[in-house]
Amino acid sequence: MQAMIPRYDMYAFIHKALRAFMTDTLLSMGRMDCEDDADTAVTLGQVRGLLEMCRAHLDHENRFVHTAMDARAPGSADRAEKEHREHLRVIDLLETDVFAVEHSHGEKREHAAGQLYRQLAVFVAENLEHMQMEETDNNRVLWALYTDEELRAIEGAIVASQPPEKMIATLRWMLPALNPSERGLLIGGMRQGMPAEAFHGMLEVLRPLLGSGDWCKLERVLA
Ligand SMILES: [Fe+2]
Protein backbone atom coordinates (compact mmCIF):
# COMPACT_ATOMS: atom_id res chain seq x y z
CA MET A 1 0.00 0.00 0.00
CA GLN A 2 2.82 2.36 0.97
CA ALA A 3 4.26 2.32 -2.57
CA MET A 4 0.93 3.47 -4.02
CA ILE A 5 0.84 6.73 -2.07
CA PRO A 6 2.61 9.36 -4.21
CA ARG A 7 5.38 11.18 -2.38
CA TYR A 8 6.24 14.85 -2.82
CA ASP A 9 8.60 15.37 -5.76
CA MET A 10 10.47 18.63 -5.23
CA TYR A 11 12.26 18.22 -8.57
CA ALA A 12 9.15 17.88 -10.74
CA PHE A 13 8.24 21.49 -11.54
CA ILE A 14 11.70 23.04 -11.72
CA HIS A 15 12.99 20.21 -13.90
CA LYS A 16 10.06 20.64 -16.31
CA ALA A 17 11.02 24.33 -16.53
CA LEU A 18 14.67 23.47 -17.19
CA ARG A 19 13.79 20.85 -19.84
CA ALA A 20 11.63 23.46 -21.61
CA PHE A 21 14.29 26.19 -21.38
CA MET A 22 17.07 23.84 -22.54
CA THR A 23 15.25 22.37 -25.54
CA ASP A 24 13.82 25.72 -26.67
CA THR A 25 17.28 27.29 -26.47
CA LEU A 26 18.87 24.43 -28.38
CA LEU A 27 16.30 24.81 -31.19
CA SER A 28 16.80 28.58 -31.25
CA MET A 29 20.57 28.13 -31.44
CA GLY A 30 20.15 25.70 -34.34
CA ARG A 31 18.14 28.16 -36.43
CA MET A 32 20.07 31.31 -35.48
CA ASP A 33 20.93 33.52 -38.48
CA CYS A 34 24.61 34.43 -38.04
CA GLU A 35 24.29 37.18 -40.64
CA ASP A 36 21.55 38.89 -38.64
CA ASP A 37 23.17 40.70 -35.69
CA ALA A 38 19.84 41.30 -33.92
CA ASP A 39 18.84 37.63 -34.13
CA THR A 40 22.31 36.58 -33.01
CA ALA A 41 22.19 38.93 -30.01
CA VAL A 42 18.73 37.69 -28.92
CA THR A 43 19.67 34.02 -29.29
CA LEU A 44 22.99 34.36 -27.48
CA GLY A 45 21.17 36.30 -24.76
CA GLN A 46 18.84 33.32 -24.33
CA VAL A 47 21.81 30.92 -24.14
CA ARG A 48 23.40 33.11 -21.45
CA GLY A 49 20.08 33.24 -19.55
CA LEU A 50 19.87 29.45 -19.67
CA LEU A 51 23.43 29.04 -18.40
CA GLU A 52 22.73 31.51 -15.59
CA MET A 53 19.60 29.61 -14.55
CA CYS A 54 21.48 26.29 -14.69
CA ARG A 55 24.24 27.66 -12.47
CA ALA A 56 21.72 28.98 -9.94
CA HIS A 57 19.85 25.65 -9.99
CA LEU A 58 23.06 23.73 -9.27
CA ASP A 59 23.78 26.06 -6.37
CA HIS A 60 20.25 25.57 -4.94
CA GLU A 61 20.50 21.79 -5.15
CA ASN A 62 23.99 21.75 -3.64
CA ARG A 63 23.15 24.05 -0.74
CA PHE A 64 19.67 22.86 0.15
CA VAL A 65 19.02 19.37 -1.27
CA HIS A 66 22.43 17.69 -1.10
CA THR A 67 23.08 19.17 2.33
CA ALA A 68 19.82 17.60 3.52
CA MET A 69 20.70 14.22 1.96
CA ASP A 70 24.19 14.18 3.46
CA ALA A 71 22.90 15.28 6.88
CA ARG A 72 20.93 12.04 7.31
CA ALA A 73 22.84 9.71 4.96
CA PRO A 74 26.45 10.88 4.60
CA GLY A 75 27.75 10.36 1.06
CA SER A 76 24.29 9.87 -0.47
CA ALA A 77 24.67 13.03 -2.59
CA ASP A 78 28.18 12.18 -3.83
CA ARG A 79 27.18 11.16 -7.37
CA ALA A 80 24.97 14.23 -7.90
CA GLU A 81 27.69 16.50 -6.45
CA LYS A 82 30.29 15.07 -8.81
CA GLU A 83 28.00 15.57 -11.82
CA HIS A 84 27.28 19.13 -10.70
CA ARG A 85 30.99 19.95 -10.62
CA GLU A 86 31.26 18.70 -14.21
CA HIS A 87 28.21 20.76 -15.25
CA LEU A 88 29.78 23.91 -13.78
CA ARG A 89 32.94 23.24 -15.76
CA VAL A 90 30.93 22.81 -18.99
CA ILE A 91 28.87 25.97 -18.29
CA ASP A 92 32.14 27.96 -18.16
CA LEU A 93 33.21 26.45 -21.51
CA LEU A 94 29.84 27.22 -23.09
CA GLU A 95 30.10 30.84 -21.95
CA THR A 96 33.48 31.00 -23.68
CA ASP A 97 31.82 29.60 -26.83
CA VAL A 98 29.08 32.27 -26.63
CA PHE A 99 31.76 34.96 -26.41
CA ALA A 100 33.52 33.46 -29.46
CA VAL A 101 30.32 33.69 -31.56
CA GLU A 102 29.69 37.24 -30.39
CA HIS A 103 33.18 38.41 -31.28
CA SER A 104 33.46 36.86 -34.73
CA HIS A 105 31.98 37.58 -38.15
CA GLY A 106 31.27 35.84 -41.43
CA GLU A 107 32.59 32.31 -41.82
CA LYS A 108 34.29 32.37 -38.44
CA ARG A 109 30.97 33.16 -36.76
CA GLU A 110 29.23 30.33 -38.66
CA HIS A 111 31.90 27.95 -37.45
CA ALA A 112 31.75 29.21 -33.84
CA ALA A 113 27.93 29.02 -33.84
CA GLY A 114 28.03 25.41 -35.07
CA GLN A 115 30.49 24.57 -32.32
CA LEU A 116 28.27 26.19 -29.65
CA TYR A 117 25.14 24.44 -31.00
CA ARG A 118 26.73 20.99 -30.80
CA GLN A 119 28.30 21.54 -27.37
CA LEU A 120 24.98 22.88 -26.07
CA ALA A 121 23.25 19.74 -27.42
CA VAL A 122 25.67 17.52 -25.47
CA PHE A 123 25.13 19.63 -22.32
CA VAL A 124 21.35 19.30 -22.71
CA ALA A 125 21.68 15.53 -23.23
CA GLU A 126 23.77 15.17 -20.07
CA ASN A 127 21.32 17.27 -18.10
CA LEU A 128 18.33 15.22 -19.27
CA GLU A 129 20.01 12.06 -17.96
CA HIS A 130 21.15 13.81 -14.78
CA MET A 131 17.62 15.02 -13.98
CA GLN A 132 16.28 11.50 -14.45
CA MET A 133 18.87 10.24 -11.94
CA GLU A 134 17.83 12.93 -9.46
CA GLU A 135 14.13 12.22 -9.87
CA THR A 136 14.67 8.49 -9.27
CA ASP A 137 17.82 7.87 -7.18
CA ASN A 138 17.90 11.14 -5.20
CA ASN A 139 14.16 11.04 -4.59
CA ARG A 140 14.46 7.47 -3.30
CA VAL A 141 17.00 8.74 -0.74
CA LEU A 142 14.99 11.87 0.12
CA TRP A 143 11.74 9.93 0.54
CA ALA A 144 13.44 7.45 2.87
CA LEU A 145 14.95 10.21 5.01
CA TYR A 146 12.36 12.99 5.05
CA THR A 147 8.60 13.44 5.36
CA ASP A 148 6.71 15.29 2.62
CA GLU A 149 6.28 18.20 5.03
CA GLU A 150 10.05 18.41 5.52
CA LEU A 151 10.63 18.20 1.74
CA ARG A 152 8.18 21.05 1.15
CA ALA A 153 10.06 23.09 3.77
CA ILE A 154 13.38 22.48 1.97
CA GLU A 155 11.83 23.58 -1.32
CA GLY A 156 10.26 26.58 0.41
CA ALA A 157 13.71 27.62 1.67
CA ILE A 158 15.05 27.49 -1.90
CA VAL A 159 12.18 29.65 -3.18
CA ALA A 160 12.58 32.13 -0.30
CA SER A 161 16.31 32.51 -1.08
CA GLN A 162 15.56 34.00 -4.52
CA PRO A 163 14.73 37.62 -5.39
CA PRO A 164 11.33 38.21 -7.09
CA GLU A 165 12.86 38.89 -10.54
CA LYS A 166 14.54 35.46 -10.51
CA MET A 167 11.23 33.87 -9.55
CA ILE A 168 9.47 35.55 -12.50
CA ALA A 169 12.26 34.42 -14.85
CA THR A 170 11.76 30.84 -13.65
CA LEU A 171 7.96 31.06 -13.95
CA ARG A 172 8.37 32.24 -17.55
CA TRP A 173 9.59 28.72 -18.40
CA MET A 174 7.84 26.75 -15.68
CA LEU A 175 4.23 27.81 -16.20
CA PRO A 176 3.91 26.84 -19.92
CA ALA A 177 5.83 23.60 -19.24
CA LEU A 178 3.37 22.28 -16.63
CA ASN A 179 0.07 20.53 -17.23
CA PRO A 180 -3.16 22.30 -16.15
CA SER A 181 -3.49 20.61 -12.76
CA GLU A 182 0.17 21.30 -11.95
CA ARG A 183 -0.32 24.97 -12.92
CA GLY A 184 -3.28 25.12 -10.56
CA LEU A 185 -1.18 23.71 -7.70
CA LEU A 186 1.67 26.12 -8.40
CA ILE A 187 -0.36 29.29 -8.77
CA GLY A 188 -2.87 28.30 -6.08
CA GLY A 189 0.03 27.78 -3.67
CA MET A 190 1.47 31.19 -4.55
CA ARG A 191 -1.91 32.83 -3.93
CA GLN A 192 -1.89 31.52 -0.35
CA GLY A 193 1.44 33.17 0.38
CA MET A 194 0.78 36.61 -1.18
CA PRO A 195 -1.39 39.69 -0.57
CA ALA A 196 -4.33 39.73 -3.05
CA GLU A 197 -3.11 42.85 -4.86
CA ALA A 198 0.39 41.49 -5.43
CA PHE A 199 -1.08 38.17 -6.57
CA HIS A 200 -3.29 39.82 -9.21
CA GLY A 201 -0.36 41.94 -10.38
CA MET A 202 1.68 38.78 -10.82
CA LEU A 203 -1.15 37.07 -12.74
CA GLU A 204 -1.11 39.94 -15.26
CA VAL A 205 2.63 39.44 -15.76
CA LEU A 206 2.11 35.70 -16.29
CA ARG A 207 -0.95 35.92 -18.54
CA PRO A 208 0.94 36.29 -21.88
CA LEU A 209 2.80 33.05 -21.14
CA LEU A 210 -0.27 30.89 -21.80
CA GLY A 211 -2.65 30.60 -24.72
CA SER A 212 -6.28 31.55 -24.07
CA GLY A 213 -7.40 27.92 -23.69
CA ASP A 214 -4.78 27.15 -21.05
CA TRP A 215 -5.45 30.47 -19.30
CA CYS A 216 -9.18 29.63 -19.04
CA LYS A 217 -8.30 26.25 -17.53
CA LEU A 218 -6.07 27.96 -14.98
CA GLU A 219 -8.80 30.45 -14.05
CA ARG A 220 -11.26 27.59 -13.60
CA VAL A 221 -8.85 25.74 -11.31
CA LEU A 222 -8.18 28.90 -9.28
CA ALA A 223 -11.90 29.67 -8.96
FE1 LIG B 1 21.12 18.48 -10.28
Predicted model pTM = 0.94
Residues 189 and 109 in one domain: no
Half-sphere exposure at residue 113, Cβ-oriented, CA atoms within 13 angstroms: 25
Residue 193's pLDDT band (cuts 50, 70, 90): confident
Residue-level pLDDT at 220: 94
Residues 137 and 191 in one domain: no
Residues 187 and 212 in one domain: yes
Residues 211 and 186 in one domain: yes
In the chain, which ranges are continuous DSSP H helix? 12-31, 37-60, 67-72, 78-102, 106-133, 139-145, 148-160, 164-177, 180-192, 196-206, 212-222
Residues 34 and 132 in one domain: yes
- Quote the CA–CA distance of 223 and 221 in Å, as a whole number: 6
C-alpha 135 – ligand 1 centre gap (Å): 9
Residues 156 and 186 in one domain: no
C-alpha 35 – ligand 1 centre gap (Å): 36
Q: What is the pLDDT of the chain when averaged over all its residues?
A: 96
C-alpha 111 – ligand 1 centre gap (Å): 31
How many distinct structural domains can be found in the chain?
2
Q: Is residue 10, in this structure, part of any structural domain at all? A: yes
C-alpha 13 – ligand 1 centre gap (Å): 13
Q: What count of residues does the chain have?
A: 223
C-alpha 25 – ligand 1 centre gap (Å): 19
C-alpha 194 – ligand 1 centre gap (Å): 29
| Higher per-residue pLDDT: 5 or 27 | 27
C-alpha 61 – ligand 1 centre gap (Å): 6
C-alpha 64 – ligand 1 centre gap (Å): 11
C-alpha 58 – ligand 1 centre gap (Å): 6
Whether 45 has a pLDDT exceeding 90, the answer reads yes
Residues 191 and 88 in one domain: no
- Quote the CA–CA distance of 157 and 151 in Å, as a whole number: 10
Residues 20 and 73 in one domain: yes
Whether 1 has a pLDDT exceeding 70, the answer reads no
Instruction: Determine contact, residues 180/216, Cβ cutoff 8 Å.
Output: no
Residue-level pLDDT at 5: 80
C-alpha 132 – ligand 1 centre gap (Å): 9
- Quote the CA–CA distance of 88 and 53 in Å, as a whole number: 12
Of the candidates 163, 186, 210, which is a domain's last residue?
Answer: 163
Residues 35 and 135 in one domain: yes
Residues 48 and 115 in one domain: yes
Residue 173's pLDDT band (cuts 50, 70, 90): very high
Residues 189 and 158 in one domain: no
Task: Identify the CATH number of the domain in which residue 46 sits.
Answer: 1.20.120.520
Whether 152 has a pLDDT exceeding 60, the answer reads yes
Whether 214 has a pLDDT exceeding 80, the answer reads yes
> In the predicted model, what is the mean pLDDT of residues 49-58?
98
Whether 89 has a pLDDT exceeding 90, the answer reads yes
Q: Is residue 41, in this structure, part of any structural domain at all? A: yes
Residues 114 and 50 in one domain: yes
Ligand 1 is a single-atom ion; what residues have CB below 5 A from it? Answer: 61
C-alpha 10 – ligand 1 centre gap (Å): 12
For 18, the domain range is 2-163
C-alpha 207 – ligand 1 centre gap (Å): 29
Residue 10's pLDDT band (cuts 50, 70, 90): very high
